[in-house]
Amino acid sequence: MVGAGTDSTKESISGGPAIVLVRPQLAVNIGMCARAMVNFGLSDLRIVAPREGWPPADKYRDIAFAAAAGASHLLEGAKIHENLRDAVADLNLVFATTARERGQGKRIHPPFEAMNEFFERITRGERLGILFGPERTGLDNDEISFADGIITFPVNPAYASLNLAQAVLLVGYEWMRASRGDTPPFQLASYSPPASREMILSFFEFLEGALEENGFFRPEGKAPGMRRNLRNIFHRIELTEQDVRTLRGAMVRLVEGPRNDVQTRKRIRQPRKQTETPPK
């Protein structure tokens, strides 16, 4: 299953820090983590001692791949490790995610700050990784001790627990911002050029003339202000040429009434009145 935003004709971004899932408990969460990673161009998935094994058997495998929603290649290429030491052995810098202060004297960063540093160091050729703990307990203190620093999220202090895939998603989003910027992937398409002032003023003259004929600008003392208000409504829209043509066409039809062909169709659609048959 793939999402509506999937486009196989475009180049897929890859790279970034390694995402290290330590003792993950649920296959569905591993699948959703893979999806979150692909969303934001992360491609190095490492799994340490998953509870259900990996790849999981029977229905758990189907659940994981369904949750990945098109990121199955990341699940198939995941690196599986029996212990955390092996998982991080090739990395130059490791950060751990946690919602609790662990008293280990490590520097602490929000995700946007950490990902800015990660981007700078990765561009220098370093290999970096981020640790995410199991769903129920998070990373334990011994696992935190493998990390150089802490990533923690600005969340509701009364409810700081994040779903595993949510945590990966937030880090992935900040990685994308740090590495690619935060410009939206597409902009408002320009289907028509901006209307010229002459075109807009001509429309105003037609509109105000029709309104004047129908008694809109009353009382006369308020007419100048009413005209200004009316014009300013349209100025705020930043009209295009197509906008003006459409509006003017609509106003013409309201002023002049239905076209002849419309009147003809209306007559054709009207049912004929049945004449009463006189009683015999």
Q: How much is the pLDDT for 150?
A: 95
Q: Are residues 47 and 89 both part of a single domain?
A: yes
Beta strand pairing call for 93-97 and 107-109: unpaired
Q: Are residues 176 and 48 both part of a single domain?
A: yes
Q: pLDDT tens for residues 180-191?
A: 988 777 777 777
Residue 173: pLDDT band (50, 70, 90) is very high
Give the pLDDT mean for 61-75.
88
Residue found under tokens 């990765």: 122
Q: Are residues 172 and 48 both part of a single domain?
A: yes
Q: Is residue 4 part of a domain?
A: no
Sheet holding 128-132: strands in order across?
79-81, 45-48, 18-22, 128-132, 93-97, 149-151, 107-109
Report the CATH number at residue 87. Answer: 3.40.1280.10
pLDDT surpassing 80 at residue 277: no
Q: Is residue 263 part of a domain?
A: yes
pTM recorded for the entire structure:
0.72
Q: Are residues 167 and 99 both part of a single domain?
A: yes
Q: Is residue 6 part of a domain?
A: no
pLDDT surpassing 60 at residue 272: no
Count of structural domains, the chain = 2
Select the more confidently predicted residue: 268 or 89: 89
Q: Is residue 278 part of a domain?
A: no
Share of the chain above pLDDT 70, in %: 90
Select the more confidently predicted residue: 269 or 172: 172
Q: Is residue 106 part of a domain?
A: yes
Which of 123, 148, 180 is the last residue in one of the domains? Answer: 180
Q: In Å, how far are 92, 103, 160 from 109, measured between CA atoms?
A: 18, 15, 16
- Write out the residue range of the structural domain in which residue 232 sits: 197-269
Lowest mean pLDDT, pick from 33-37, 59-63, 274-278 = 274-278
Select the more confidently predicted residue: 182 or 279: 182
Q: Are residues 65 and 132 both part of a single domain?
A: yes
Q: Are residues 120 and 239 both part of a single domain?
A: no
Q: Are residues 134 and 237 both part of a single domain?
A: no
pLDDT surpassing 60 at residue 3: no
pLDDT surpassing 80 at residue 57: no
Tell me if 22 sits within 8 A of 131, measured CB to CB.
yes
